[in-house]
A = this chain, B = another copy of it.
Amino acid sequence: MEENFKTIDFFEDTLVLLDQRALPKRVTYVHCTTYKEVEFAIRDMIVRGAPAIGATAAYGVYLAAREFSSLHNQTDDEAFSAAMEDAASYLIKSRPTAVNLAWAVDLMLKEYKRLKEESIDTILSSLLNLADTIKREDIQTNRMMGKIGSALIPEKATILTHCNTGALATAGWGTALGVIKTAFEEGKDIFVYADETRPRLQGARLTAWELTQAGIPSALISDSVAATLIRDGKIDLVILGGDRVAANGDVCNKIGTFMLSVLCKVYGVPFYSAVPVSTIDFSIASGKDIPIELRASEEVTRIGSEQIAPDGMQVYNPAFDVTPNENVTGIITEKGILYPPYTSSIEEIRKTLQ
């Protein structure tokens, strides 16, 4: 089973992104040839999802290097280096919450610094190579996470998920939705409830689209329907993604995640976050230190061309919330499932990376 679409593609120095703003109505693609176009694509959510943003931004750094190549000088690095640093921080600022973005950009910058005394051709081909590797490894990571996580899904399970964590949120396959797809691919008879995920409706627009594309039995619900399903024993487990996981296992994820975690805790339903290790921010002790992006009012007051709230109404629109580690049953990664106490299980993972 593989997707019949590509979220992120790159050829002939052009980044081709599936325009997620147009789904589920139209499958169209946006072409980026400059790092500023890449920044806009991330900020305007043409591409979204922590791992997808990471891979996209990596190509953004490569495109910046191409744009600035005339500044490059093997003996005096200053002008080119300053331009690259500027481009990197410009890209990182496009979305503040997900850690994969900064992680991928930093990897790319490090690669450039390692090679800064080489020719520009060597630098460019190495950077493109690394961006391709980040994209390819994300898919491998997701496949591995899928296999590991699927073990948690019993036969005939009904699974609730939130936001979009599928092929559209990653370079391919998906994180939490990748786990669900793997269980389905393995022949398990599952049913999926997808939260629509206001305000951007990634569940309705994207997850529902991926589920129907994959032929997985499923139903869409308004976000506030989940509570009664959880109470009434209709949900066997919740699996969702994560935009940044702190060193203590606090999970920052799409707004609405915390609400689900409280209901799962009260009614004894397992609650899992599926994230690649690159989503863990070892430098952050707890979720309190994660910046929460506040987005524009119009995301709440308008849907497409439709005005759904009166002019002049104030809106509070945080894109994410933080679920405390005590509400998290386990964290599914490509290196295994982490369990509480997370401070030690995450520390173990950190050691394997050094």
Chain B min CB distance to A184 (Å)? 16
Give the docked Cα–Cα distance between A274 and B314 (Å). 25
A228-B321, A259-B224 known; A307 vs B25 contact (CB < 8 Å): yes
Known A24-B310, A198-B222, A220-B313; 20 more pairs at CB < 8 Å: A24-B308, A24-B311, A25-B307, A204-B301, A208-B309, A209-B310, A212-B310, A219-B314, A220-B314, A220-B316, A222-B300, A224-B224, A224-B259, A225-B317, A226-B259, A266-B266, A303-B308, A304-B305, A304-B308, A305-B306
Q: 15 A-B residue contacts at CB 8 Å?
A: A196-B309, A198-B198, A201-B309, A208-B313, A209-B310, A211-B313, A219-B313, A224-B224, A225-B255, A225-B318, A227-B262, A259-B259, A262-B266, A303-B306, A304-B308
Interface positions of A from 22 to 42, Cβ below 8 Å from B? 24-25
Is A199's beta carbon under 8 Å from chain B? yes
Chain B residues with Cβ below 8 Å from A317 are 221-222, 225
Residue ranges of A at the interface with B (Cβ–Cβ < 8 Å): 24-25, 193, 196, 198-199, 201, 204-205, 208-209, 211-212, 218-228, 231, 255-256, 258-259, 262-263, 266, 300-301, 303-318, 321-322
Give the docked Cα–Cα distance between A309 and B266 (Å). 31
Contact B24 A307 (CB under 8 A): yes
> Which one of B193, B222, B308 lies within 8 Å of A255 (CB-CB)?
B222
Give the docked Cα–Cα distance between A226 and B24 (Å). 28
Chain B residues with Cβ below 8 Å from A196 are 198, 300, 308-309
